[in-house]
């Protein structure tokens, strides 16, 4: 039986991927580089800032510190959030209230950096509601299950007692490796990108108490 919900963050709690791409392009403009929308969504969603930057630098033959440029990109991103704001994924706020009503344990397991996640949680006024796992808390990124297993440990539940919400194949694979049930949201990628064994929904408007009751038993 499911006793806890684990959320990815970008593209699951916050509709933030467009801002992430914008911050990359604003930063990389100094190097004459633009990441096309199709490339970003198909290759980089869920991959992580450092891996994205390293791939871009390899592709363009740039011999600079990817980690340094990730730091620059993160500052740009946080300024964008403060200036332009960020929206919750459709239906998330209502679903979150439902979880509180039924007393379900919940946590965020993000591949994002702590400062980035926190600035968005504060903007969404969710910072006092959620504990979260960030990139700094683990050694390995998704699709490694480390973040999800740590999330379960912090909630005091077994991996098999967790239901995970993800929006990328990396996250879905991490849930599979962790031995957790998973729901994929098509907020970032089309349905065809996800495993047939995974439950797929458009967003949280399709997730209500009846849905939960079908999935958690």
Which residues have a catalytic role annotated? Answer: 8, 10
Instruction: Report whether the peptide linkage leading into residue 61 is cis, meaning its omega lies within 30 degrees of zero.
Output: no
φ, ψ of residue 216 in degrees (nearest 5): -85, -15
Residue 201 in contact with residue 207, Cβ under 8 Å? yes
What is the distance between the alpha carbons of residues 131 and 115, in angstroms, rounded to a whole number? 13
Burial class (CB in 10 A: 0-12, 13-18, 19+), 116: buried
Q: HSE, CB side, 13 Å, CA atoms: give it for residue 73.
A: 25
How many Cβ atoms sit within 10 Å of the Cβ of residue 44?
Answer: 21
């Amino acid at each position: 039986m499911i006793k806890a919900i684990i959320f990815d963050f970008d593209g699951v709690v916050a509709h933030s991927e467009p801002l992430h791409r914008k911050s990359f392009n604003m930063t990389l403009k100094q190097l004459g580089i633009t990441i096309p929308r199709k490339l970003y969504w198909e290759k980089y969603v869920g991959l992580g800032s450092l891996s994205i930057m390293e791939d871009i630098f390899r592709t363009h033959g740039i011999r600079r510190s990817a980690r340094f440029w990730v730091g620059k990109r993160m500052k740009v991103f946080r300024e964008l959030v403060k200036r332009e704001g960020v929206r919750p994924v459709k239906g998330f706020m209502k679903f979150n209230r439902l979880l509180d009503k039924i007393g379900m344990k919940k946590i965020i397991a993000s591949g994002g950096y702590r400062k980035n996640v926190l600035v968005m949680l504060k903007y969404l006024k969710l910072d006092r509601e959620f504990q979260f796992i960030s990139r700094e808390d683990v050694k390995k990124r998704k699709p490694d299950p480390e973040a999800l297993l740590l999330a379960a440990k912090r909630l005091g539940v077994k991996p098999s007692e967790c239901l995970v919400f993800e929006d990328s194949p990396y996250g879905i694979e991490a849930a599979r490796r962790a031995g957790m049930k998973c729901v994929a949201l098509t907020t970032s990628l089309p349905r065809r990108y996800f495993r047939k064994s995974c439950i797929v929904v458009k967003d949280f408007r399709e997730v209500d108490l009846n849905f939960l009751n079908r999935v958690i038993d």
